[in-house]
Structure 1
Amino acid sequence: MNFKKRLRHLAAFGLIFTLALAVSFQAPFAKNAEAANTLGLKAKSAILVDFNSGKVLYEKNADQVYPPASMTKMMTEYLVMQALNQKRLTWNTKVSISDYAYTISQNRSFSNVPLRKDYQYTVRDLYEAMAIYSANGATIALAEKVGGTEKHFVDMMNQTAKKLGMTTAHYINSSGLDNVDLGKYAPYGSKNDSNELAARDLAKLAYHVIKDYPEALQISKIPLKNFTAGVKTPIQMVNWDYMLPGFGADMAKFTYPGVDGLKTGHTDLAGYCFTGTVNRDGHRLVSVVMGTTSDSQRFEQTRALFDFGYQTYSLKTIAKKGQKLKDQKTVAVHNGKQSSVGLAFGQPVKTTVTNGEKVHATYKVVLDHSKLNKDGSIEAPVKKGEKIGYAVLKTSNGAYGSLYPNIDKVPVVAADQVDKNNWFVRMFQAIGGLFSGLFHWIAGLF
């Protein structure tokens, strides 16, 4: 096929083509997720998700709405991290304490560090108290700092939940306490109301906390830390996540190697809850259990989920970063020293496979039209590694990553560098193109 015909061919097919990988796979996830119910998990609802692929490995009442208790604070953490990332806050930004935050912080029957109204705390002071010790007063102070008022911050929480695809989320406060505990300070709802979320949506939120702001894990994984701001005697903050490595022998029964987050929760209405995450050699799992009956049971059920995940599934690398797509069509290059450029993966391609199973997968590659000329070519120079589009992994059960939006999209980049022809060569190419067009016009007259 000559150069011009190849261009017409690319344009005619809309620059979308499917590439079969030389890996043979089946995708038995739905079957195994159903079979996983034999775990007999002791929780009102639960879900286990593979972080890398977005596949649901286990679920139980995962769309049933329940109070999330202090797992609510994951959204507060997300919005604080967002404000830090957008430079609206720094870790050293000073935060004043309102009557509301002060009053709640003095109630030591809740998780709290006592705050002072005559002292300004840093964002880091309060964030660590929230993420490690689940301190409610500190959470409210951060919400007021980011949102101006907690009521406005709650609006931000619900707006962000919609953007993240959390269809069941209904936030009425930033801390996760029930309104009956907040009393006159409750920003929304009636006396008996609470935040409401389903386990599936909590898994989506956990994914975004980890993916968008991985530094959050550097704090959530701290087992013990002293709170020293504004107090004469340091207050030891013991992380409520007892599965973290680093606790003493008395907590060893809960420890699970690789756990580095994310958030516990407990109220009388919610029971004992836990959104956990564990990472072993790059294979990360995310779990949610809601409505267990004791502190220890939430960790026992999480352990059962993690064990099931690692014993049943493996993380497989299908393609390495920079690996050329097998049997790919090249993209034409205009004004280049080479007439075309090959395609490669811009990042490693990994997926979750049931142990012992083979999977058949294909890629649909979609080129970025903003990068292309009208004739479907890309203008030289082309840098090696320059993003040209993306590939979507498909299996017989559909695209991987259905739980998390766009997780199945893998960047596709130029496999090689193509330099631009010098002006002299381009001039003769233009002249040749002119004569070629004239010849075809004349030929069309006869």
Structure 2
Amino acid sequence: MISKILHRSTVAAVIAVALGLGQPVLAQTIETAAKQAVIIDFASGAVLMEKNADELMVPSSMSKLMTVYMVFDKLKSGAWKPGDRLPVSETAWKKHYKSGGSLMFLPINSTASVDELLKGVVIQSGNDACSVLAEAHSGSEEAFAEEETRKSRQLGLTKSVFKNASGWPEPGHVMTARDLSVLARHLIGDFPDYYPLFSQMEFTFNGIKQGNRNPLLYNTPGADGLKTGHTEEAGYGLTASIKRGARRIIIVLNGMSSMKERGEEAQRLAEWAFREWETYPLFKAGEVVVPDAEVWLGEAETVALAAKGDLEVSMQRRNRLDMKVSTVFTGPLPAPIKAGAELGKIVVTAPGMAPVEMPLVAVGNVEKLGFGGRVSAAIRRIIWGAKK
């Protein structure tokens, strides 16, 4: 990609920082019994492993994560308070009490607080709690599901379609493993004050104590969320988050044959991801990467270029020495230049991973020379050529 840019440019400035030499190494892979799977690094968003990650699947109760997102959003906006009490309608009660699905055991025509209902969804996986929240949010569960689908597109979930709030089997209620990983990343990043709910181990409501169904909370260091799922059609699934030190990974698995296999496979893949992969911070947002990019016909001869955002790269540890960081921009850069304008990019390459890019932006303004100055600069360039 860099060479293509070079051929296309009249003059290109390329600064390459080679952090090691060696032959390209193919990325290691790991097999999984899951029918659909993806592992991502939370900070960089890099995909560490995937299998049928974009295949439409029945998400079962893992789709409750979208319901939780919608409620967290209400709380963050101030529209709802944790202590607000919501009614348990006859419609919500009847829908689930003969279904055989997981329940919070809400009494008909009672009320429960938003905080209690969220715990009922996250910890107890209560389908009844989902329906109560959906009705209070949108008037009906059908309307709520439509809002979920619209909101999911805004969050970057490209294929998910919701037909209800709980994940109860219904034609057309589908997600992908990748969509679930994106949703989990949003839940953690968008709601840091509410996210600790996912690591609560048990909750008692209506005299009935139920434990959190996430198996990793009990045996995997650093596990702090998110949600399991199971139906006959989908098999056993899990969307999990594990944080160790500064690193966090998100794992999505579906289509496992048993609870035992789900827990063991998730734990095995988590250990592999932490053992074989690392995330390397390269630049902070605003950090100067190119201190003196040449400017054409500007009141200043150079302008500094900085990283537009934080740049972190995830790769297998064995490929760290073959990582290369380059900056690419066409120079000299024509004035006028406005601070924050995107004028190039940082490109990071390494064996076994797709190139990672981050825009380069101007640190300050550079005004264009007046007519006389432009004529003088043009003459100097004709006589002396490009600045060395």
**Quick one: structure 1 residues 352 and 116, their matched pair in 2 at CA, closer, same or farther if it must change by over 3 Å?**
same
2:126 partner amino acid:
A
**Quick one: structure 1 residues 351 and 74, their matched pair in 2 at CA, closer, same or farther if it must change by over 3 Å?**
same
Task: Name the residue aligned to 1:204.
Answer: 182
Task: Name the residue aligned to 1:293.
Answer: 257
Aligned residues: 362
Alignment check: 8 A CA contact 2:283 2:312 kept: yes
Alignment check: 8 A CA contact 1:321 1:347 kept: yes
List runs of 5+ in structure 2 lacking aligned partners.
1-8, 378-388
List runs of 5+ in structure 1 lacking aligned partners.
1-12, 180-192, 245-250, 367-373, 401-407, 419-428, 441-446
2:349 is aligned with 1:395: yes
Alignment check: 8 A CA contact 2:290 2:305 kept: no
Out of 296, 304, 320, the position equivalent to 1:342 is 304
Out of 179, 191, 203, the position equivalent to 1:213 is 191
Alignment check: 8 A CA contact 2:295 2:335 kept: no
**Quick one: structure 1 residues 270 and 194, their matched pair in 2 at CA, closer, same or farther if it must change by over 3 Å?**
farther
2:148 is aligned with 1:170: no
**Quick one: structure 1 residues 439 and 125, their matched pair in 2 at CA, closer, same or farther if it must change by over 3 Å?**
same
Higher-strand-fraction structure: 2
1:238 partner amino acid:
G
Task: Name the residue aligned to 1:76.
Answer: 67
Task: Name the residue aligned to 2:134.
Answer: 143
2:30 is aligned with 1:36: yes
Instruction: Name whichever of 261-270 and 344-353 sits farther off.
Output: 344-353
Task: Name the residue aligned to 1:355.
Answer: 317
Alignment check: 8 A CA contact 2:346 2:360 kept: no
- After TM superposition, the score normalised by the length of structure 2 is 0.78
1:236 partner amino acid:
K
Alignment check: 8 A CA contact 2:282 2:313 kept: yes
Out of 235, 258, 273, the position equivalent to 2:237 is 273
Task: Name the residue aligned to 1:239.
Answer: 212
Deviation of 1:60 (Å) = 2.1
Alignment check: 8 A CA contact 1:49 1:56 kept: yes
**Quick one: structure 1 residues 239 and 295, their matched pair in 2 at CA, closer, same or farther if it must change by over 3 Å?**
same
Task: Name the residue aligned to 2:279.
Answer: 315
Alignment check: 8 A CA contact 1:27 1:395 kept: no
Task: List per-residue Cα deviations over 1:299-321 (Å, max 9, x = no partner).
Answer: 11111211221121111122345
Alignment check: 8 A CA contact 1:217 1:262 kept: no
**Quick one: structure 1 residues 84 and 19, their matched pair in 2 at CA, closer, same or farther if it must change by over 3 Å?**
farther
2:27 partner amino acid:
N
Task: Name the residue aligned to 1:262.
Answer: 226
2:304 partner amino acid:
G
User: Counterpart of 1:176 in 2: which secondary structure?
Assistant: coil
**Quick one: structure 1 residues 118 and 198, their matched pair in 2 at CA, closer, same or farther if it must change by over 3 Å?**
closer
What's the RMSD between the two structures over aligned residues? Answer: 3.9
User: Counterpart of 2:66 in 1: which secondary structure?
Assistant: helix
